[in-house]
Structures are given as structure tokens and as C-alpha cells.
């Protein structure tokens, strides 16, 4: 499954130079569907400033991180 990511959103997600102005941190614990929906919602309604999305996985047993890496390569994860 591919996700449509408009070019302007990609540009906003990446800081032009230096660090992004906004870091959005999502904590996940076996909530794959909710986490993916949250990320999709952020990209559909992006902040007006440069941003990054960071997903913190709290020992999930679900395959959330591989799905995020595949669908949203700009999202960082811990």
C-alpha cells in the first residue's frame, strides 16, 4: 500500500536548513492502526512550519515499525 504524500508536505516535513521547528512525538504500544491513522492525519493536515514526526515504540508486539518505515520513510522512530 502506498501513501500519497504531496510534494509540499514532503518539503514541509524536511527542514530547509537545520532542525525542524516542530517535533511531533507519537507513543505507540500495540496500537498500529491508531498510530498509522495519526501519521496519515498529520500529513493530510500538516503544520504551517517545518516539522518532524517521531514514533516511540513502547515494546509493541505488533509489526508497527516496519509498516511505518515502508509507508512513511520520513518518520523517525525509537
- pLDDT tens-place string over residues 19-66: 899 999 999 999 999 999 999 999 999 999 999 999 999 888 888 889
Residue at 4 is within a domain: no
Residue 60 lies in a domain: yes
Residue 72 within a domain: yes
Given a cut of 60, whether residue 10 has pLDDT beyond it is: no
Give how many domains the chain has, as a whole number.
Answer: 1
What pLDDT is attached to residue 2?
39
Can you read off the three cell numbers belonging to residue 17?
Answer: 536548513
Global confidence as pTM: 0.75
CA dihedral (38, 73, 14, 22) in degrees, to 10, reads 30
Residue 1 lies in a domain: no
Is 40 among the domain residues?
Answer: yes
pLDDT at res. 62 = 82
**DSSP class of residue 57?**
E
Does a structural domain hold residue 34? Answer: yes
| Cα–Cα distance for residue pair 11/33, rounded to 1 Å | 25
Position 13 scores a pLDDT of 52
Domain range enclosing 26: 18-77
Amino acid at each position: 500500500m502506498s501513501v500519497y504524500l504531496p510534494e509540499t508536505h514532503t518539503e514541509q516535513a524536511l527542514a530547509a536548513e537545520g532542525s525542524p521547528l516542530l517535533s511531533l512525538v507519537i507513543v505507540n504500544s500495540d496500537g498500529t492502526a491508531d498510530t498509522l491513522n495519526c501519521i496519515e492525519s498529520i500529513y493530510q493536515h500538516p503544520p504551517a512550519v517545518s516539522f518532524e514526526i517521531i514514533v516511540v515504540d513502547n515494546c509493541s508486539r505488533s509489526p508497527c515499525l516496519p509498516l511505518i518505515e515502508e509507508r512513511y520513510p520520513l518518520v523517525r522512530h525509537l
